[in-house]
Structure 1
Amino acid sequence: MNRAFNFNAGPSALPIEVLEKAQEELLDFKGSGMSVMELSHRSKEYDAVHNEAEQLLRELMQIPDNYDVLFLQGGASTQFTMIPMNFLAENQTADYILTGSWSEKALQEAEKLGKANIAASTKNNGYNAIPSLDELSLSNDSAYVHITSNNTIYGTQWEELPSLKNKDLIADMSSDILSRPIDVSKFAMIYAGAQKNLGPSGVTVVILRNDMTKRIPNNIPTMLDYRTQIKKKSLYNTPPTFGIYMLSLVLNWMKEQGGVEQIAERNDQKSELIYNAIDESNGFYKPHAKDGSRSKMNVTFTLPSDDLTQKFLNGAKEKGFVGLNGHRSIGGCRASIYNAVPLESCQALHDYMTTFCKEFS
């Protein structure tokens, strides 16, 4: 089987072991005579899948008991609306730290529903860095502080996630959840689309400290009220059952790999390989992100000219590399090296980048 070197930004690579397990169980899940896609979401067979996914996530992330775990639909983009709808009161301000396009979109949705404040932004510098805590200008009446922990387009990441006393911190971790150990108790809420580190697209994980629900007004539409899904364990309506099943397989795979600590160690090795190819190129490859803000999930860089960029991408395609085009808004190149991207793929990319640089620099 000829597998591609998959560096897609999302939907992205899945572990081969997970795909093989899903293939094995596709027609007959655990003797049911049905695929998981055919099971009733009220059946005991699916209930076991659902509960296992939650239990594994709690175990791997060491989620405290006073947090609810939800499996929702609508992607992280729906959370941009749900968060201010549920938690931004009329007499409060929502603080947003802008580090890229997705945090901008989250801010725009909050502004439609209430008062929002840009607590810090690196837009003037092309979103090439994460602001320091000294740069934050938080509101006195802050309802919450929103961050995007990793920025897929610009290739920046919070090297150290902030601790904000007396502030409810909410994080969009769509592109780096479970890539490194974090202290969940620092956050009022964490949310993430599944299609980068958790599984295929279609599931959004929400981890919500349960005292936050006391702030939710009673005029929220039923499906946009977190309490609806908490009360019904994400089963108020039909959930994305196959996506949650795939998520449980990915979480099982992560556990077998040694958990988040081992995954993080391998992610360090993978990102180091590609950043080394950039740093040792004498300026042939230029990183977008500044030192101290470099993402370990999305490595973004440019070449000396558009012609060389196209030549690089064409050559990469011939060698089986997929997804190395930079985002259309900034161009250049991007290697997305999420948890399921093998170390061998990153080594192959390092070698190709080094060879290409020697030939054309």
Structure 2
Amino acid sequence: MLKTPSFLNFEVLSKWNSNYNTPPIFSIYIFHGILEWIKKQGGINAMRSTNEQKRKILYDAIDEFSDFYFCIADKQYRSNTTVPFRIGSKKGNVDLENKFLEEAKTQGMIQLNGHMTVGGIRVALYNSITVDNLTTLVTFMKYFYKDNAVISKKV
């Protein structure tokens, strides 16, 4: 059953002779701005297409270097929003992952730390992340692979 929020329910408003609760004006204002931004991007279908493109760019890079970057999820369960992976081995090489994070930070790429219970690297493909952002990350991943793949084989 669909329930009307109390601040929009005329029965509640009548009982309280006023607004029962103040609507979250700032949240509504921000949401309006986001919807306008999505509209300027070409709407929902354009956003979906862009997000699919971003997902493909990142997963293709992980798969291309599958002897070094290890996707945590099996292919059929891969997320469209959050891409966690390990570096060096399926269980990860913490030293390589920390090196990756530090070098990425010097390139202006932040908040790539994996979840505290899983570790590794985690890339969020939110709408604010652009295709150019992902291309920059993948270029860095290729560079990092070339410089460090030999090291991971020795460990």
Mapping of residues 154-193 of structure 1, within 5 Å: none
Partners of 1:236 and 1:332 in 2: how far apart? Answer: 47
Taking every aligned residue pair, what percent have the same amino acid on both sides? 36
Task: Please say if 1:281 is aligned against 2:65.
Answer: yes
Deviation (angstroms), 1:292: 1.7
- Give 3-state SS (helix, strand or coil) of 1:335's partner: strand
CA RMSD in angstroms comes to 1.6
Normalising by structure 1, we get a TM-score of 0.36
Residue 350 (structure 1) aligns with:
138
Is the 2:87–2:120 Cα contact (8 Å) retained in structure 1?
yes
Task: Please say if 1:314 is aligned against 2:102.
Answer: yes
Deviations 1:91-133 (A, max 9, x none): xxxxxxxxxxxxxxxxxxxxxxxxxxxxxxxxxxxxxxxxxxx
- Give 3-state SS (helix, strand or coil) of 1:321's partner: coil
- Aligned mate of 2:82, from 287, 291, 298: 298
Deviation (angstroms), 1:348: 0.3
Partners of 2:109 and 2:20 in 1: how far apart? Answer: 42
Deviations 1:272-313 (A, max 9, x none): 111111101132111111112211211110112100000000
Q: Which has the higher helix share?
A: 2
Task: Please say if 1:247 is aligned against 2:31.
Answer: yes
Mapping of residues 1-361 of structure 1, within 5 Å: 211-213=1-3, 227-231=5-9, 236-304=20-88, 305-361=93-149
| Matched AA of 2:145 | C
Query: Segments of 4+ in structure 1 off by > 6 A?
Result: none
Q: Which has the higher strand share?
A: 1
| Matched AA of 1:315 | E
- Give 3-state SS (helix, strand or coil) of 1:302's partner: strand
Deviations 1:25-80 (A, max 9, x none): xxxxxxxxxxxxxxxxxxxxxxxxxxxxxxxxxxxxxxxxxxxxxxxxxxxxxxxx
Normalising by structure 2, we get a TM-score of 0.82
- Relative to 1, partners in 2 of residues 1:212 and 1:250: Cα closer, same or farther, differing over 3 Å? closer
Unaligned runs of 5+ in 1: 1-210, 214-225
Partners of 1:256 and 1:353 in 2: how far apart? Answer: 31
- Give 3-state SS (helix, strand or coil) of 2:123's partner: strand
Partners of 1:283 and 1:244 in 2: how far apart? Answer: 47
Unaligned runs of 5+ in 2: 11-18, 150-155
Structure showing greater relative contact order (alpha-carbon pairs closer than 8 Å, 6 or more residues apart): 1
| Matched AA of 2:61 | A
Is the 2:57–2:138 Cα contact (8 Å) retained in structure 1?
yes
Alignment length, in residue pairs? 137
Is the 2:7–2:22 Cα contact (8 Å) retained in structure 1?
no
